[in-house]
Chain A
Amino acid sequence: MLEKKDIERLADMASMKISASEADKFAGQLNEILQYVEKIKEVDTEGVMPTLYPVSLENVFREDKVEPSLAREKVLANAPEEKDGQFRVPRIMGE
Chain B
Amino acid sequence: MELCDLTIHELREKLETNEVTAEEVLDSFLRRIEAVEEKVRAYVTITADEARERVSGELKGSLAGIPLAVKDNISTEGIRTTSSSKMLENYIPPYNATVVEKLDEAGAVILGKTNMDEFAMGGTTGFSAFHETRNPWNLEHVPGGSSGGSAAAVAAGEAAAALGSDTGGSIRQPAAFCGLVGLKPTYGTVSRYGLLAYAGSLDQIGPITRDIEDAALLLNVISGHDSRDSSSVRQEQTDYTAFLQEDLSGMRIALPKEYYELDYNPEVKESVLAAVKKMEAEGAIVEEVSLPSIEYSVAIYYILATGEASSSLARYDGVRYGYRSKEAANVTEMFKNTRSEAFGEEVKRRILFGTHVLSAGSYEEYYVKAQKIRTLLIKEFEEIFKNYDLIVTPTTPETAFKAGSITAPLESYKMDAFTVPVNLAGIPAITLPCGFSSANLPIGIQLMGPRFGEGKIIQAAYSLEKLLQLENKRPELEVR
Tell me the bound Cα distance from A1 to B384 in angstroms.
38
Name A10's contact: one of B302, B356, B370 (CB within 8 Å). Answer: B356
**Are A16 and B413 also in contact (CB < 8 A) when A40-B296, A78-B322 are?**
no
Binary contact track A13-29/B, C-beta < 8 Å → 1, others 0: 11111100010001001
Is the C-beta of B348 less than 8 angstroms from some C-beta in chain A? yes
Interface string of B423-452 (1 = CB under 8 A from A): 011110000000000000000000000010
Chain B residues whose C-beta falls within 8 Å of the C-beta of A26 in the assembled complex: 348-349, 352
A9 CB to closest chain B CB, in angstroms? 9
- Assess whether A85 is interfacial by the CB under 8 Å rule: no
Contact call B376/A48, Cβ cutoff below 8 A: yes
Specify the chain B residue showing the minimal Cβ separation from A2.
B356
Distance, CA A38 to CA B169, complexed state (A)? 23
A66 at the interface (CB under 8 A from B): no
Q: Which of B188, B336, B352 contacts A30 (CB 8 A)?
A: B352
Please name all residues of chain A whose beta carbon is closer than 8 Å to the beta carbon of B456 when the two chains form the complex. Answer: none
Q: Which of A50, A52, A70 contacts B95 (CB 8 A)?
A: A70
A49 vs B374: C-alpha distance in the bound complex, in angstroms? 9
Whether B35 sits at the interface, judged by CB under 8 Å, is no
Query: CB-nearest residue of chain A relative to B335?
Result: A15
Q: Is B409 an interface residue (CB 8 A)?
A: yes
Whether B352 and A90, one on each chain, are in contact in the complex, defined by CB atoms closer than 8 angstroms, is: no
Q: Can you list 8 A-B pairs with a CB-CB distance of less than 8 A?
A: A10-B355, A30-B356, A40-B366, A41-B365, A43-B369, A51-B374, A57-B188, A89-B334
Is B353 in contact with A33, judged by CB distance below 8 angstroms? yes
CB of A81 within 8 A of CB of B353, answer no
Q: Within the assembled complex, what's the spacing in Å between the Cα atoms of A37 and B125?
A: 25
A16 touches B336 (CB 8 A): yes
A residues less than 8 Å from B424 (CB atoms): 54
Say whether B330 contacts A95, CB under 8 Å: yes
- The residue on A at minimum CB distance from B313 is A14
Q: Mark B185-223, 1 if CB is under 8 A from A, else 0.
A: 001100000000000110000000000000000000000
A89 and B319 in contact, given A45-B369, A54-B425, A81-B324 (Cβ under 8 angstroms): yes
In the complex, B368 has a CB within 8 A of chain A: yes
Within 8 A of B (CB), among A49-75: 49-55, 57, 60, 62, 70, 74-75
Which residues of chain A come closer than 8 Å to B335, judged between CB atoms? 15
State how many residues of chain A have any CB contact under 8 Å with chain B: 50
> Is residue B333 contacting chain A, with contact meaning CB distance below 8 A?
yes
B369 engages A54 (CB within 8 Å): no
When the two chains form the complex, which single residue of B231, B333, B369 contacts A53, counting CB atoms closer than 8 Å? B231
Pairwise interchain contact A37-B366, C-beta atoms closer than 8 A? yes
A81 to B320, CA, bound (A): 8
Contact in complex: B369, A16 (CB < 8 Å): no
Query: Are B353 and A30 in contact, with the CB atoms below 8 A?
Result: yes
Contact B187 A53 (CB under 8 A): yes
Main secondary structure of the interface of A (DSSP, over half): loop
Query: Which residue of the partner chain, among A16, A45, A48, A55, contacts B351 with CB atoms under 8 Å?
Result: A16
A residues near B (Cβ < 8 Å) are 2, 6-7, 10-11, 13-18, 22, 26, 29-30, 32-33, 36-37, 39-41, 43, 45, 48-55, 57, 60, 62, 70, 74-75, 77-81, 87, 89-92, 94-95
A78 engages B187 (CB within 8 Å): no
CB-CB under 8 A from B293, the residues of chain A are 43
B164 interface contact, C-beta 8 A: no
In the complex, what residues of A have CB within 8 A of residue B378's CB? 51, 54
Q: Which residues of B contact A (CB under 8 A)?
A: 90-92, 94-95, 187-188, 200-201, 227, 230-231, 233, 293, 295-296, 298-300, 302-303, 310, 314, 317-324, 328-337, 339-340, 343, 348-349, 351-353, 355-356, 359, 365-366, 368-376, 378, 408-410, 413, 424-427, 451
Q: Tell me the bound Cα distance from A15 to B90 in angstroms.
A: 22
Q: Provide the bound-state CA to CA distance between A53 and B200, in Å.
A: 8
Which residue on chain A has the smallest CB distance to residue B301? A37
Q: How far is the CA of A92 from the CA of B331 in the complex (A)?
A: 5
A17 & B340 in contact (Cβ 8 Å cutoff): yes
Which residue of chain A lies nearest to B317 when distances are taken between CB atoms in the complex?
Answer: A15
Q: Which chain A residue lies CB-closest to B426?
A: A54
A residues less than 8 Å from B187 (CB atoms): 53-55
* CB <8 Å contact, B303 and A37: yes
Residues of chain B contacted by A51 (CB below 8 angstroms): 201, 371-372, 374-375, 378
Whether A10 contacts B352 by the Cβ 8 Å rule is yes
A77 adjacent to B426 (CB under 8 Å):
no
Complex CA gap A51/B304 in Å reads: 11
Task: Find chain A residues with CB under 8 A from B323 CB.
Answer: 80
- Closest-by-CB residue of A relative to B423 is A54
Tell me which residues across on chain B come within 8 A of A92, comparing CB atoms.
Answer: 330-331
In the complex, the answer to whether A33 meets B413 with C-beta atoms within 8 Å is yes
A37 in contact with B299 given A55-B233, A77-B92, A79-B320 (CB within 8 Å) = yes
A77 contacts across to B, CB distance below 8 A: 92, 94
Within the complex, the shortest CB–CB distance from B106 to chain A, in Å, comes to 25
A92-B425 Cα distance, complex, nearest whole Å: 43
CB distance from A91 to the nearest CB of B (A): 5
Contact residues in A for B188 (Cβ distance below 8 Å): 55, 57
Contact in complex: B324, A45 (CB < 8 Å): no
CB distance from A16 to the nearest CB of B (A): 5
